[in-house]
Amino acid sequence: MSETPTDYTGPERILSGMQPTGGLHLGNYLGALKWWVALQNSGAECFYCVVDLHAITVAGDPARLPGRVRSAAAAYMAAGVDPSKSAIFAQSAVPAHAELAWIFQCVARLGWLERMTQFKDKAGKDAERASVGLFTYPVLQAADILVYKATHVPVGEDQKQHLELSRDIAARFNRDFGNGDAVFPLPEPVIQDHGARIMSLKDGAAKMSKSDPSDNSRINLDDDADTIARKIKKAKTDPEPLPESEAELNSRPEARNLVGIYAALTGTSVEAVLDEFAGQGFGAFKPKLADAAVEFIAPISGEYARLIADRAEIDRVLRLGAERANAAAEPVIAEAKRLVGYWRG
Ligand code: TYM
């Protein structure tokens, strides 16, 4: 068996994406979007897509999907992604994603996909009825990344396993088709310690998620001040005051989550938050957390409201982004097709 070439020498590139499943929440922002914005000033080229191909792996209303794509694009911009620096686009507007996904479906092994925990979570007990697309979802995600030869992928903790799969696919393609070259880089996840795993306000053991039926479980980026204050007031806690050390939070998932959110919102460490609040109960801490969340989200939700009202401008940004993304993806998909031996006439 030949060695797997991994010594990729191309330029640094950033890619990430989000599902257009309704509004975005604080977990999306603190786990990913915040870092997208930081990275767009790193000098690397950035590609941020709205993954509408992934969206149809589960049933949804087709008539509402284009609006959801616009809404996600507006949220990216409201959070600070600058369309003059980063390409913002819909995945479906760049056909090379789907073309490379097919090639990668023939590279990835069934056993690799069977290990994916997100499929098990999403498909639930009735996996036989899940779409085949939901099963191969992470292969399309690998194509999203590698069709730009992206080297870095800013995501929350829950995407770690999918990123490992992307690396396995890149390595296997390089080995099987690379003729000794590292055609694809092995993409690095960019996962920050704080904010990478924001939990539900109603259950410290469950991730804050768009698919949770209770809106009180999450803070949305377009929630108004009263809604945010009400959700935090209702958030699940325990009767103990806040402890002095971070280790004491380990057995208190709800307390740990709220302290972590406060630290992420105010740009401090968990230790610093505990220095300030140790010995105080949630009656004192929650109003402070609500103030911090309102102050943090108000400019984002204000900007979102302004942007979403101008549909023509969002479409212009998405078209421009798709042009840039297509231009970057075309040589890569052409190379992949040539290497696997497709007919070229
Ligand atoms: P999605 O749409 O579920 O989430 C978008 C991003 O938000 C992060 N995130 C969180 N971070 C911290 N705490 C949370 N509670 C939380 N919930 C969500 C996610 O980790 C993610 O970074 N499969 C991806 C979309 C995707 C993608 C890609 C990502 C498709 N192709 C290529 C990166 C690269 C997903 O469903 O994310």
* Domains of the chain and any CATH numbers: 13-190+311-340 (3.40.50.620), 215-307 (1.10.240.10)
Q: Is 28 in the pocket of ligand 1 (CB under 6 A)?
A: yes
Instruction: State the distance from the centre of ligand 1 to the C-alpha of 32, rounded, in angstroms.
Output: 7
Instruction: State the distance from the centre of ligand 1 to the C-alpha of 69, rounded, in angstroms.
Output: 15
| Angle between helix 96-105 and 160-177 (nearest 10) | 80
pLDDT, one tens digit per residue, over 84-101 is 999 999 999 999 999 999
Q: Tell me what pLDDT residue 2 has.
A: 54
Q: Is 153 in the pocket of ligand 1 (CB under 6 A)?
A: yes
Protein residue whose Cα sits closest to atom 6 of ligand 1 = 28
Please report which helix (H) or strand (E) contains residue 166, including its range: helix 160-177
Q: Is 145 in the pocket of ligand 1 (CB under 6 A)?
A: yes
Share of the chain above pLDDT 90, in %: 90
Q: Is 208 in the pocket of ligand 1 (CB under 6 A)?
A: yes
Q: Are 103 and 340 in contact (CB under 8 A)?
A: yes
pLDDT, one tens digit per residue, over 38-84 is 999 888 999 999 999 999 999 999 999 999 999 999 999 999 999 99
pLDDT, one tens digit per residue, over 202-234 is 999 999 999 899 999 999 999 999 999 999 999
Q: Give CA–CA dist 315/268, Å, rounded.
A: 37
Q: Is 77 in the pocket of ligand 1 (CB under 6 A)?
A: no
pLDDT band per the 50, 70, 90 thresholds, residue 21: confident
Report the candidate in 10, 28, 20 with the shortest Cα–Cα distance to residue 297.
28
Report the candidate in 332, 9, 330 with the shortest Cα–Cα distance to residue 173.
332
Q: Give CA–CA dist 283/287, Å, rounded.
A: 7
Protein residue whose Cα sits closest to atom 22 of ligand 1 = 155
Q: Tell me what pLDDT residue 1 has.
A: 47
Q: Tell me what pLDDT residue 275 has.
A: 96
Q: Tell me what pLDDT residue 62 has.
A: 97
Q: Tell me what pLDDT residue 46 has.
A: 98
Q: Average pLDDT over the chain, rounded to whole?
A: 95
Answer yes or no: is pLDDT of 247 > 70: yes
pLDDT band per the 50, 70, 90 thresholds, residue 7: confident
pLDDT, one tens digit per residue, over 102-126 is 999 999 999 999 999 999 989 988 8
Q: Tell me what pLDDT residue 211 has.
A: 87
Instruction: State the distance from the centre of ligand 1 to the C-alpha of 209, rounded, in angstroms.
Output: 10
